[in-house]
Amino acid sequence: MVQVTKEELMEALDRDSTTITDELVTSINMIILDEPEAGSLIRENFLGYSHVLQSGKYSMSAYLSAVSFVSYKLMNMTNFDAYCKTFPKRYEKLRFRYVDTEGLSEEDFEKKVSSYVYAVAKSKMVTTMLGQVQIPTKLLNMGLLQEAINVEAGLMRGAKSEIVREKAANTLIQYLGQEEEYKIQADVGYRKDEIIDQYEFAMKKMVEAQMEEIGKGADVKTIANAKIIEVEVVE
**Structural domain harbouring 216:** 141-224
Domain stops at, among 93, 127, 161: 127
Domain stops at, among 127, 155, 177: 127
Indicate whether 105 and 178 sit together in one domain: no
Determine, yes or no, domain membership for 230.
Answer: no
Determine, yes or no, domain membership for 1.
Answer: no
Model confidence at 229: pLDDT above 60: no
At residue 192 the predicted structure's pLDDT band, cuts being 50, 70 and 90, is very low
Domain stops at, among 96, 127, 158: 127
Indicate whether 28 and 108 sit together in one domain: yes
- Mean pLDDT to the nearest integer, 156-167: 89
Indicate whether 90 and 167 sit together in one domain: no
Indicate whether 196 and 104 sit together in one domain: no
Determine, yes or no, domain membership for 89.
Answer: yes
Structural domain total, the chain: 2
State the pLDDT at residue 186. Answer: 39
What predicted TM-score, i.e. pTM, was given to this entire model?
0.55
Indicate whether 81 and 162 sit together in one domain: no
Phi and psi of 209, rounded to 5°? -65, -40
At residue 195 the predicted structure's pLDDT band, cuts being 50, 70 and 90, is low
Indicate whether 80 and 168 sit together in one domain: no
Determine, yes or no, domain membership for 193.
Answer: yes
Determine, yes or no, domain membership for 235.
Answer: no
Determine, yes or no, domain membership for 20.
Answer: yes
Indicate whether 112 and 179 sit together in one domain: no
Indicate whether 57 and 169 sit together in one domain: no
Determine, yes or no, domain membership for 133.
Answer: no
Determine, yes or no, domain membership for 46.
Answer: yes
Mind listing the pLDDT tens digit for each residue in 50-80?
888 777 778 888 999 999 999 999 888 999 9
Indicate whether 178 and 115 sit together in one domain: no
Indicate whether 114 and 198 sit together in one domain: no
